[in-house]
Amino acid sequence: MKQKGLNLSRSVRQNIVLLALILVEMVLFTIMNGRFLTLYNLMNIVRQNVPNVIIAGAMALVIISGAIDLSVGGVMALSAVVYGKLCVWGVNSWLAIVPVLVLGVFIGWVNKFISETLGIPAIMATLATWLASAGLALTLCQAIPISDPEVKPITVLNATKLFGGKIPLALFISVFFVAVFLFLEKRTLLGKYAVSIGGNANAAIFSGINVRRMRLIYFSMCSVMACLAGIWQVARLGSADPKIGTGMEFSVLSACILGGVNIKGGEGSVLGAVIGVYLLAILTNGMQMMNIDDFYQQVVIGIVLLGAVLINQLGSMYAARKALLTVGKKAAGNA
């Protein structure tokens, strides 16, 4: 029996709905404010959301695999401060990126060690690393942003514009990392393993997947991307500010959930998470253009997150019911 109409998978349909929502948002904000739909503003959105986009891909994989990483905000701050310190100590501003990335792998290992080896739920484990890394970042620089001239060379990343000074490098960086994560998800085993571990970790172990090693990979990817995001913020601000990561875990999580990643694991896509980032980003930007206070934005984003979780859950409950009904009908047909 063939289904009527377009036979699209749930995630594709979800992404189409999200893209439509983005379109609605853009039309709405364009009507309300003429300055919204300008190349400058759009590129601004892209530039502001480089950290969110590059973390979201990795975070999506972590959540799909049934874990969670709350530590990204702290890791971002820590990486920025460590990077700043390294620069001040005289390390070349490009070479300094390498030890920071090693730090990211290390934090990923710590997350995996606490959650897998010590058997502590990932939420608690990463809550602890979040507290520790954010505290460490503030301690290292005594809560004062590092804005010595030694950290300035990296700002060239933010300032570079291509195509006649119109398109910032940020766009290409975002596209590059999105492409990398899409590749990792679709063309390597990382994506498939994440779904199977998140769907049923025990079944994954019995089918020969090295769950501990995969968790190490996912957590490290997430922390490394958080470190890169931290360095990007240094490039954007020209100073290593220990507060840059505040609320980061919240906005990235919200974006992932908006993008249809199941918070319980086993379901979701990198592309959805990326679309989720821009959905939130445009919402925030539009509200800023309308001069709505930051505080209201926090409430709105909280409500959006709540709504997204509810809709996702209701959607998957509905899908499960429909699947059950189809099975029932088939059984009835056979009998």
The single residue among 250, 287, 289, 315 that binds another protein, judged by CB under 8 A, is: 250
- CB closer to another protein, 107 vs 170: 107
Query: Minimum distance from CB of 241 to another protein (Å)?
Result: 14
**Residue 167 forms beta bridges with which residues?**
162
Q: Please measure the distance between the N-terminal and C-terminal CA atoms of the chain and give it in whole angstroms.
A: 16
The single residue among 17, 28, 120, 182 that binds another protein, judged by CB under 8 A, is: 120
User: Distances in Å between the alpha carbon of 258 and those of 12, 27, 54, 203, 316?
Assistant: 14, 20, 16, 28, 14
The single residue among 10, 13, 192, 264 that binds another protein, judged by CB under 8 A, is: 264
The single residue among 234, 257, 261, 273 that binds another protein, judged by CB under 8 A, is: 257
- CB closer to another protein, 183 vs 296: 296
Query: Minimum distance from CB of 6 to another protein (Å)?
Result: 29
Cα gap 244→129, rounded to integer Å: 17
Site for another protein in 56-75 (CB under 8 A): 68
DSSP assignments along 188-220, one per residue: SHHHHHHHHHHH-HHHHHHTT--HHHHHHHHHH
Query: Minimum distance from CB of 74 to another protein (Å)?
Result: 9
Q: Is 253 in the site for another protein (CB under 8 A)?
A: yes
Query: Minimum distance from CB of 285 to another protein (Å)?
Result: 18
Pick the piece of the chain touching another protein (CB under 8 A) from 11-19, 39-47, 111-119, 160-168: 111-119
The single residue among 33, 42, 135, 180 that binds another protein, judged by CB under 8 A, is: 135
Number of residues that bind another protein (CB under 8 A): 46
Tokens 């934005």 -> residue = 297
Tokens 């209201």 -> residue = 296
> Which three-class secondary structure state does DSSP give residue 162?
strand
Cα gap 250→273, rounded to integer Å: 13
Q: Which of 101, 80, 91 is nearest to 220 (CA)?
A: 101
For residue 85 the two structure tokens come to: 């310190």
Sign of torsion over alpha carbons 63, 67, 68, 71: negative
Pick the piece of the chain touching another protein (CB under 8 A) from 125-133, 228-236, 276-284, 325-333: 125-133
| Helices H / strands E in the chain, number of each | 14, 2
Query: Minimum distance from CB of 242 to another protein (Å)?
Result: 8
- CB closer to another protein, 118 vs 331: 118
**Residue 161 forms beta bridges with which residues?**
168
Q: Is 119 in the site for another protein (CB under 8 A)?
A: yes
The single residue among 8, 10, 106, 121 that binds another protein, judged by CB under 8 A, is: 121
Pick the piece of the chain touching another protein (CB under 8 A) from 46-54, 159-167, 282-290, 291-299: 291-299
Q: Is 318 in the site for another protein (CB under 8 A)?
A: no
- CB closer to another protein, 109 vs 209: 109
Tokens 């919402």 -> residue = 283
Which residues touch 332 (CB under 8 Å, ≥6 apart)? none
CA 289 to chain centre: 24
Instruction: Give the length of the chain.
Output: 335
Which residues of the chain form contacts with another protein (CB under 8 A)?
68, 114, 118-121, 123-125, 127-132, 134-139, 142-143, 247, 250, 253, 257, 263-264, 293-299, 301-303, 305-306, 309-310, 313-314, 317
